[in-house]
Amino acid sequence: MHLRCSRGGLAVLLVLFVPALSAGLPIISEVFYDAEGSDDGRVFVELLGAPGTRLDGMWLEGVNGANGAVTVHVDLSGEIGPSGLYLLADRTGGGTSFVPGADQIANFDFQNGPDSVVLGSASGVLDAVGYGSFGVIEFFAGEGSPAPDAPSGTSLARLYADLDSGENSVDFAPAFPSPGSAPIWGVPEPGSAALLASGLALLGARGRSIRTVPRTSMSSGKRAPLERTRARRAAAPQSV
């Protein structure tokens, strides 16, 4: 997508994009539910949140699209580190995980779908993503309409980890698995006024393209290799 706008169109563009930045964190940034071959020890969920956020009292659940039953429940623990990303990974029967850099390991595996993954706490659902093709009598527990099913070997990831429009079909796409790293829109979580000002400054200073907004990696602090990410996504395996 390559968006252009004139200075006169800035207000319209910002109205369109600023509300899409996630208002509440943490959110789900990536789900890997179907590794090629065995899923054991390879499944993971990546969350994006403010560094230092305590996750005790929050949970992740898998919801069966066929009947609405909860197939997975994992109580989260610990806190989100300086990178802003938190990684929950499946463990094998031997108690280890193939997922590098996991912040927490637990024994779980989501179904291949159509299903949903829900992040919640005592105050209710914080974020959710449903994936796959749901029939009219099946149970979608995501937001908006479902994201596409991620082919085996690929994960389901937000296009930008910090953009949450509340519409799974827009926010998520199949991607090369990237546990512990993510492209972000590049704007930290200031108040909306500061966000608006920074957006205006960037757009005004850099010209007409929204793609001039810097994108940084939460984990490395370097610019995220978005084009490389897209290339990897395009090259990702499409079937088992």
Identified binder of Ca ion from the candidate list 17, 26, 30, 119, rule CB under 5 A: 30
Stretch that binds Ca ion, among 4-12, 46-54, 67-75, 217-225 (CB under 5 A): 46-54
- Least spacing, CB of residue 106 vs Ca ion, in Å: 18
CA gap 98, 39 in Å, rounded: 10
Taking the least distance from each CB to Ca ion, the nearer of 106 and 156 is 156
Interface with Ca ion, residue 178, by CB under 5 A: yes
Encoded one letter per residue, x for contact with Ca ion by CB under 5 A and - for no contact, window 146-175 reads ------------------x-----------
Interface with Ca ion, residue 103, by CB under 5 A: no
> φ and ψ at 226, to 5 degrees?
-60, -45
Interface with Ca ion, residue 127, by CB under 5 A: yes
User: Shortest CA distance to 189 belongs to which of 43, 39, 51?
Assistant: 51
Interface with Ca ion, residue 46, by CB under 5 A: yes
- Least spacing, CB of residue 204 vs Ca ion, in Å: 30
Write the single-letter amino acid at 89: A
Pairing type for strands 115-121 and 155-158 reads: unpaired
**Size of residue set near Ca ion by CB under 5 A:** 10
- Least spacing, CB of residue 207 vs Ca ion, in Å: 30
Q: What is the DSSP annotation of 197-213?
A: HHHHHHHHHH-SBGGGS
Stretch that binds Ca ion, among 76-84, 102-110, 179-187, 201-209 (CB under 5 A): 179-187
* ∠ Cα 67 155 216 (to 5°): 130
Q: Are 49 and 80 in contact (CB under 8 A)?
A: yes
Identified binder of Ca ion from the candidate list 102, 106, 182, 187, rule CB under 5 A: 182
Interface with Ca ion, residue 90, by CB under 5 A: no
Interface with Ca ion, residue 217, by CB under 5 A: no
Give the position of tokens 């105050």.
123
Identified binder of Ca ion from the candidate list 33, 39, 76, 81, rule CB under 5 A: 39
Give the position of tokens 């949903």.
116
Taking the least distance from each CB to Ca ion, the nearer of 39 and 149 is 39
CA gap 46, 121 in Å, rounded: 17
CA gap 32, 175 in Å, rounded: 9
CA gap 96, 78 in Å, rounded: 18
Identified binder of Ca ion from the candidate list 17, 26, 31, 34, rule CB under 5 A: 34
Taking the least distance from each CB to Ca ion, the nearer of 116 and 178 is 178
Q: Are 141 and 4 in contact (CB under 8 A)?
A: no
Name the residues that contact Ca ion, by CB under 5 A: 30, 34-35, 39, 46, 127, 143, 164, 178, 182
